[in-house]
């Protein structure tokens, strides 16, 4: 693959690549699965004139020769019985070193062998109607025992974005852990909130819904195209209480200082909490990438905090599993800002008390992503 093609693939734009490049990647992916029959490879290799040396395993068709070659390479890369691979090999070595000392490490490894469910958030009190229509579309639907508007869907081949439920703004695709962040924020009717790193606005919409579409949620982000996506989502769902405002991450001052009942900082992070859903992220993220997050997160949290009025709430969240991006950032913030104190809250998914005001949401418990949330109160 040429450098420009590799860059295109890394940006998630495989559709821009030449067909032959995509075919080679498909073949490579198939070869990592031992069940692919040689004749399937024959078809692709022949179509795109992918040559397999005839001298390698003579007498066999090209596809079978390719399988034999790659299996031999795999054996050379990983000597020994391939059946004895351990779950820790689902992570890069640097991540194993950092996560192994943490509580729940072995259970976390078990979850990596499967993807989490796809979770929806109902933007209507008519949850049973939503369930019926999803089931009629061929989906298996599960409710969450504590979060009434959270539904997990599995099975079926329907594109959710084509459903009338989605077009009417009655459902949003939002992981359960992400929904839990908004629930931990617990905004109230008529309040004024600032979603500082809103992105495309999943948590913005959740905050606005929890406020029963009253008050105001101001969504900020440095990326204008993300805010445009958010505006489209808000219009589709009919939210009257959402505003967007570019925010470049600089310290809040002037009229916006102490102007909000609550501020949510869903900070840039390593996205390691979604490694179950996006396993390629385990191998495209380095230890240096994780270490580079701390100063960014510290700055963003420090610069957004002045927007909280006295008596208001500040929420810090990431979709990371590394303490250096979570508890370490929260502790650093509290040491530098004595005007804020951690505030206890109830675990949104279990009801258990979170006395420290800091919660690592374990995706294995509810088949979701993993996230971290800290709740602070300004004196």
Sign of torsion over alpha carbons 271, 5, 48, 68: negative
Write the CB contacts of 8 (distance below 8 Å, at least 6 apart in sequence).
Answer: 14, 16, 17
φ, ψ dihedrals at 346, nearest 5°:
-90, 135
Joined tokens for residue 97: 């070193």
Give the number of other CB atoms < 10 A from CB of residue 175: 28
Q: Cα 72 vs. chain centroid, distance in angstroms?
A: 36
Q: 8 an active-site residue?
A: no
Which residues, in sequence order, are CB contacts of 333 under 8 Å at separation 6+? 298, 301, 302, 305, 316, 340, 376
10 Å Cβ neighbour count for 94? 13
Q: What share of the chain is helix, strand, coil (3-state, %, to 5)?
A: 45, 20, 35
- Exposed, middle or buried, 36 (CB in 10 Å: 0-12/13-18/19+)? middle
Residues in the chain: 379
Q: Could you tell me if 273 and 318 are in contact, meaning their C-beta atoms sit under 8 angstroms apart?
A: yes
CB 301 within 8 A of CB 231: no
Positions marked active-site: 319
């Amino acid at each position: 693959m040429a450098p420009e093609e590799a860059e295109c693939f890394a940006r998630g734009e495989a559709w821009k690549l030449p067909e032959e490049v995509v075919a080679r990647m498909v073949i490579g992916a198939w070869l990592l699965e031992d069940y692919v029959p040689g004749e399937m490879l024959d078809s692709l290799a022949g179509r795109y004139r992918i040559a397999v040396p005839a001298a390698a395993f003579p007498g066999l068709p090209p596809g079978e020769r390719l399988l034999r070659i790659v299996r031999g390479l795999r054996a050379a890369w990983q000597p020994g019985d391939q059946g004895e691979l351990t779950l820790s090999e689902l992570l890069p070595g640097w991540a194993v070193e950092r996560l192994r000392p943490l509580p729940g490490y072995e259970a976390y490894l078990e979850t990596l062998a499967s993807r989490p469910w796809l979770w929806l958030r109902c933007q209507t009190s008519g949850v049973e109607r939503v369930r019926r229509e999803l089931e009629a579309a061929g989906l298996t639907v599960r409710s969450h025992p504590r979060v009434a508007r959270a539904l997990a869907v599995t099975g079926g081949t329907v594109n959710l974005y084509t459903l009338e439920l989605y077009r009417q703004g009655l459902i949003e695709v939002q992981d359960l852990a992400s929904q839990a962040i908004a629930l931990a924020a617990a905004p109230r009717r008529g309040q004024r909130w600032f979603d500082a790193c809103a992105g495309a606005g999943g948590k913005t919409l959740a905050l606005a819904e929890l406020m029963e579409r009253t008050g105001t949620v101001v969504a900020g982000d440095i990326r204008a195209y993300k805010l445009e996506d958010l505006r489209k989502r808000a219009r589709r769902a009919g939210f009257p209480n959402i505003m967007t405002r570019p925010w470049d991450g600089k310290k809040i001052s002037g009229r916006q200082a102490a102007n909000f009942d609550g501020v949510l900082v869903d900070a840039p992070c390593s996205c390691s909490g979604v490694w179950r859903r996006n396993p390629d992220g385990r191998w495209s993220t380095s230890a240096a990438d994780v270490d580079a997050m701390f100063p960014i997160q510290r700055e963003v949290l420090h610069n957004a905090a002045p927007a909280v009025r006295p008596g208001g709430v500040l929420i810090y969240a990431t979709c990371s599993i590394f303490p250096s991006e979570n508890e370490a950032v929260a502790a650093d913030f509290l040491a530098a800002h004595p005007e804020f104190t951690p505030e206890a809250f109830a675990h949104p998914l279990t009801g258990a008390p979170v006395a420290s005001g800091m919660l690592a949401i374990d995706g294995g418990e509810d088949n979701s992503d993993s996230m971290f949330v800290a709740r602070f109160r300004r004196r």
